[in-house]
């Protein structure tokens, strides 16, 4: 709920603190932001187009696939990486709030801030956990979170803004970054012509955080999944390949696959601390 996290939010116009009113967030200078009936608030401002936002179909696919538990081992790993005793966890690029909700389940008393540029995703995130506040925000702009107020920042398959993440984190905070490895979704990548992971992905992650963070841990999490046609359509539809394929064309390719396929899930998780 926004009431749980409003003390950590800031006005995107003037950076002042925000107070919760009757279905509105308002700062002392009078800037006001309506709370949607679904319980989230948009703190995007200006006419500049935001970054790429997940569509309704992508969000629905992600909710279906993650809700079925296929990435359960990854959710557990992300939750386990959160600092013991953390009180405030922010998820930058939270999507449906799945990973943030899992972290909050492991952190009694902690609250979570879900940040995503997609209103479709944030609507789902708003109901992902009772101690979660959902905010529409663009990771490429100053995020509406106070300086040094967050214990853990999660960044799972999402863009990284090193300067903003470092600003939000406490000096002893941690940043948890998850990216797919080149083995992710084998053999579907080849059979369905999906986008493959860029060989320079790891280098680009390091460069995006350079000067702001120091990597203190790294691990690879890999596990097998047995997926039917519906689950394969969902995992394709929720990822970057969804932007580059026609749904009907992909559906025909999936129908040609065996009734079930053994698929590899493979992720790299890195832990960073602020470079003080």
Query: Annotated binding site, which residues?
Result: 11, 14, 27, 31, 71, 96-97, 184
Bind-site residues for S-adenosyl-L-methionine: 71, 96-97, 184
Nearest-10 Cα torsion for 137, 141, 143, 147:
180
Bind-site residues for Zn(2+): 11, 14, 27, 31
254 alpha carbon, distance to own chain's centre: 27
3, burial (CB in 10 Å: exposed 0-12, middle 13-18, buried 19+): exposed
- 184 in Cβ contact with 197 (< 8 Å): yes
Rounded Cα distance between 266 and 46, Å, is 38
């Amino acid at each position: 709920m926004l009431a749980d996290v409003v003390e950590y939010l800031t006005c995107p116009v003037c950076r002042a603190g925000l107070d919760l009113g009757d279905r509105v967030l308002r700062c002392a200078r009078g800037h006001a932001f309506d709370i949607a009936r679904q319980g989230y608030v948009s703190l995007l401002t200006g006419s500049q187009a935001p970054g790429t936002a997940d569509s309704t179909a992508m969000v629905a696919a992600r909710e279906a696939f993650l809700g079925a538990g296929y990435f359960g081992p990854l959710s557990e790993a992300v939750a386990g990486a959160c600092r013991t005793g953390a009180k405030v966890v922010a998820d930058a690029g939270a999507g449906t709030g799945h990973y943030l909700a899992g972290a909050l389940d492991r952190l009694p008393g902690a609250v979570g801030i879900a940040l995503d540029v997609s209103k479709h995703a944030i609507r789902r995130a708003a109901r992902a956990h009772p101690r979660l506040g959902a905010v529409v925000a663009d990771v490429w702009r100053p995020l509406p979170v106070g300086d040094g107020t967050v214990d853990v920042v999660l960044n799972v398959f999402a863009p990284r803004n090193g300067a903003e993440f470092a600003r939000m984190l406490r000096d002893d905070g941690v940043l948890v970054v998850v990216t797919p490895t080149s083995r992710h979704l084998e053999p579907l990548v080849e059979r369905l012509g999906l986008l493959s992971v860029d060989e320079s992905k790891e280098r680009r992650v390091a460069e995006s955080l350079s000067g702001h963070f120091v990597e203190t841990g790294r691990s690879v999490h890999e596990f097998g999944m047995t997926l039917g046609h519906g689950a394969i359509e969902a995992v394709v539809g929720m990822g970057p390949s969804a932007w580059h394929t026609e749904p009907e064309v992909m559906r025909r390719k999936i129908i040609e696959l065996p009734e079930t396929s053994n698929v590899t899930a493979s992720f790299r998780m890195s832990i960073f601390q602020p470079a003080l």
